[in-house]
Structure 1
Amino acid sequence: MTSNSAYAALSEHFRDVVALGQISGLLGWDQETIMPSGSAAQRSEWMSTLEKVSHAQRTDPRIADWLDAVNAENLTQAEAANVRLIRRQFERQSKVPSALATQIARVTSQAQGIWAKARENDDFSAFQGVLTEVLNLRREEAAALADGGNPYDALLEDYEPGMQESELAALLGGLREGLVELRAKAVESGTNIPTLSGQFSCDQQTMIAHELASAFGYDWSRGRLDFSVHPFSSGSFNDVRITTRVSEEDPFNCFYSTIHEVGHATYEQGIDQTMGLSMLGRGVSMGVHESQSRILENQLGRSRAFTGYLYRRMRDVFGDFGIDDAETFYRVVNKMNRGFIRTEADEVQYNLHVSLRFDLERQLIAGDLEVADLEEAWNARFLSDFGYPVDKPSNGVLQDVHWSVGLFGYFPTYSLGNIYAGELFDKMSVDVPNLQDDLGQGDTTQALAWLSENIHQHGSLYEPRETIKRAVGHAPTAAPLLAYLNAKFGEIYGL
């Protein structure tokens, strides 16, 4: 077999692998949005069967022969990167028995519905059993992948290739220290910022959410907006769907959830079309992915300039809603609120939520914490970090979907995304000198063009930190994010 024919066989085979993954993602979107509740058991069987077929494709013995036959010297940069990603996935997947992969798919599909019902009823005990089963399966998978190494590192590899628990612990620990100090100063400042109140109709919120999605570059010909308990983005390349949620008392939840998910979606929609159904045709990591959602949501969407535009638009739609001017509105949007929900947290406190989850889940994987003690551990840590107790499970241990579907190792990528976003915004502000003027008009064209050129188009061509380094000129650190937060909230709270 020649190198060219081996690469052609690999490429053709992994078109099917990628397509099967996209089908699975679409079934997951359907399950979270419009699937009838009585279909859960059948969907679980579908997901299990699909995973069985996909796992067989990903671990096909012919892959090893094709990889051995490929001569790296004959490959283009994109082809070499495609082979690198195929080799990484093949080696990882080959360590996981098919029966285990199939069982994980079956149980997590079931667990998702059980979690949703337990959350609705504020009953952690109803979720505890299946979460224990999910955790045990993921521990077994982590042990197989680690092959004697750190099990949590093995799980991280699925979401942030090359990242290690020890590095994350140091990075997020330092970030947490700075944010705890900033939060304490803001709380002690006594600064009084109004809170948005009133009734904002679902239909009008949905209309503005569609406008915001368009303003931030969402291509409606390749996507759609629906509603779910937990907002998310699903899909890749030319079929990328987003969801949001609506509360008539809190339009910001809808608006900023929409902008956040559009950040994920525009990344996927912006990948070079030539990458198609290859391993390159997706976001390179969850940390880089999250940087795209967070920079749109926060550095751009919560800026003084863009909130001025949003204030005028909300006045047009809702009339007088009790905020007298755009400057007050900017402070209201960015107010540090006492609350429980990660997705609704301000920029300062958000990473404290992530740190809590990161520390708890690595204890779970290590066996230092069991599911039976998880709610108590969550509540104790929350009280320590935020200064007030959790009032109910849906505001605490049951608020996130991630553990129900086995996404251990995912949570820290949220803070990595914020760190990467801090670096990207710092560089974007230099490269796009009239950025704030554009945002004041609701115009994100230049900002999105910068992100497209430096991040989106490359897909998974480069490794995660290399992607950020190429965009900003150096290895990423938390320094720009902390500087941005201290400057922004220092001004808002008069520190």
Structure 2
Amino acid sequence: MNAFDDLMAFQRETEALAQVAGRLGWDQETMMPRGAAPQRGEEMAAMESVLHGRRIDPRIADWLEMIDEGHLDAAGSAQLRHIRRSHARASKVPAALAARIARVTSEAQGTWAEAREADDFKAFAPTLSEVITLKREEGMALAAGGDVYDAMLDDYEPGATGAELEAMFGALRPELTRLREAVRGAEAPPMLQGKFDESAQMKLTRQLAKTFGYDMSKGRVDKAVHPFSSGSGLDVRITTRTNETDPFNCFYSTIHEVGHACYEQEINQAYLLTPLGAGVSMGVHESQSRIYENQLGRSRAFAGWLYRQMRDAFGDFGVADEDTFYRIVNRVSDGFIRTEADELQYNLHVLLRFDLERALMGGDLQVDDLEAAWNDRFRADFGYDVDRPSNGVLQDVHWSVGLFGYFPTYSLGNVYAGCLHAALRRDVPELDAQLAQGDTSHATGWLRQAVQTHGGLYQPRDLMTRAIGQAPTEAPLLAYMTEKFSDLYGL
């Protein structure tokens, strides 16, 4: 075998082990008994030690040095780009630190869940302080004198910077706030009333997953506190949650996670268990989940189809017609929870977290002051007070597991989704007629060819530019939001 073949064989084993580690995380969120948390922390730390050792293996540098990239195709060159980047980043982080982060964040997840259930931020604060200390140490090693937050952001959105996102979000925030205030002054649609059997919800949610192209022979739908998607290639799993008075929570969480899952399932199978065999960034990943959930799933056309499915599943549930149902699905409502936020206000929840975590990583905000800072910012942005920590600073799992730099990719994904939606409607003029019949195949097929099949072949911004025909900006998202909610609320 030549150096490239040797390198790729080694890399496939590393990717396979990473999938095993991911499966441990899936089990921890869905099926693991609570008392197993300390042992799982040790298991995760052991896996991270093995993976970190492989990622910094000196043979990687030797193989990279021996490979003549001039003899590789575009995919081969892209494989090397990812491997070089991973090797360089991993080599900057001491193995002991990587293992300690894995152990502490695994245990912190259980501590967070208990504190959230007890509505006691002080019980979680010492653990969060330890996580932040470790992640800041990791960020300093990665930044090598540069911006620590940018180094952490690069894990999730290669090439992006905090300053760049701050400028983009700075353009979003005033326009979204203005539109929200106009909507709040208009007559609101009715709220969904009644109770909806949770087993019937799960039956319909599995139907929705298949409707959006999720291959259940290579995946499964389970329940978790925090919906998520896990895995890639031939084993991609999603979770959702149920609430007997709010079936939309289940249905749209499922559609959202199916967007993530279909991205992973539709990547070119030639890239399986290689660096190209996963979504290229979390921003691009989020673009798929958000366009599935919102621009497709909450569209007037698809909402009409879903209304008919719900009547079949639940009988007469008190909504007179498809138009009323569409307005209910897109109702703008006060609320605390990011994952339950309406489409219009969702990004305001993300921008709050982006600003706070940058301050935490920069040392401008201390953990002891975090709850008060969160509550103050929430009051300023939304106009009412957080009632308890589980509806505020304790609602998300991300910081407990060390995902600093992750939150802004949610809003970046919304920006990308806005751009993709405009291009999709340009290229598929019969989209609404298809969605009205519950046929998502043309839309998801377009997204598969434009984005999903490429996996990690292109850089994130390059992939988006190729897909939409120009550099992505926030303008299409704002135009879509303004048109949709002005129509819904008669503005």
Q: CA offset at residue 235 of structure 1?
A: 0.5
Distance 1:414 1:192 in 2: 27
Distance 2:216 2:81 in 1: 33
Distance 1:202 1:117 in 2: 25
Distance 1:38 1:122 in 2: 20
Deviates more, 1:24-33 or 1:314-323: 314-323
Distance 1:402 1:247 in 2: 22
The secondary structure found in structure 2 opposite 1:159 is coil
Q: CA offset at residue 154 of structure 1?
A: 0.2
The secondary structure found in structure 2 opposite 1:348 is coil
Distance 1:217 1:393 in 2: 37
Please report the TM-score for the alignment, with normalisation by the length of structure 1. 0.99
The secondary structure found in structure 1 opposite 2:239 is strand
Matched, 1:199 2:195: yes
Matched, 1:76 2:68: no
Q: CA offset at residue 192 of structure 1?
A: 2.8
Distance 2:477 2:325 in 1: 23
Distance 1:179 1:296 in 2: 21
* Residue equivalent to 1:179: 176
* Residue equivalent to 1:119: 116
Task: Choose the corresponding residue for 1:60, options 49, 57, 62.
Answer: 57
Distance 1:328 1:292 in 2: 27
Distance 2:287 2:347 in 1: 13
* Residue equivalent to 2:35: 38
Matched, 1:407 2:373: no
Distance 1:277 1:187 in 2: 48
* Residue equivalent to 1:98: 95
Give CA deviations for 1:157-198 in whole Å, capped at 9, x if unaligned: 100000001000000111111101110111122x13100011
Matched, 1:240 2:236: yes
Matched, 1:142 2:135: no
> Is the Cα–Cα contact under 8 Å of residues 375 and 392 in structure 2 kept in the other structure?
yes
| Structure 1 letter corresponding to 2:228 | F
Q: RMSD of the alignment, in Å?
A: 0.7
| Structure 2 letter corresponding to 1:348 | L
| Structure 1 letter corresponding to 2:173 | R
| Structure 1 letter corresponding to 2:233 | F
> Is the Cα–Cα contact under 8 Å of residues 188 and 331 in structure 2 kept in the other structure?
no
| Structure 2 letter corresponding to 1:205 | Q
Unaligned runs of 5+ in 2: none
| Structure 2 letter corresponding to 1:62 | R
| Structure 2 letter corresponding to 1:288 | V
Deviates more, 1:140-149 or 1:15-24: 15-24
Alignment of 1:11-22 (within 5 A): 11-22=8-19
The secondary structure found in structure 1 opposite 2:344 is helix
Alignment of 1:170-319 (within 5 A): 170-189=167-186, 191-319=187-315
Distance 2:335 2:225 in 1: 18
Distance 1:234 1:184 in 2: 37
The secondary structure found in structure 2 opposite 1:94 is helix
| Structure 2 letter corresponding to 1:445 | S
> Is the Cα–Cα contact under 8 Å of residues 282 and 413 in structure 2 kept in the other structure?
yes
Residue identity over aligned pairs, in percent, reads 61
| Structure 2 letter corresponding to 1:419 | V
Give CA deviations for 1:233-256 in whole Å, capped at 9, x if unaligned: 001111000000000010000000
Number of aligned residues: 491
Unaligned runs of 5+ in 1: none
Distance 1:49 1:211 in 2: 38
Task: Choose the corresponding residue for 2:5, options 8, 11, 34.
Answer: 8
User: Would you identify which runs of 4 or more consecutive aligned residues in structure 1 move more than 6 Å?
Assistant: none
Task: Choose the corresponding residue for 1:157, options 154, 159, 168.
Answer: 154
Distance 2:234 2:253 in 1: 21
The secondary structure found in structure 2 opposite 1:243 is strand
Distance 1:413 1:143 in 2: 21
* Residue equivalent to 2:435: 439
| Structure 2 letter corresponding to 1:38 | G
Q: CA offset at residue 494 of structure 1?
A: 1.0
Q: CA offset at residue 387 of structure 1?
A: 0.3
The secondary structure found in structure 2 opposite 1:347 is coil
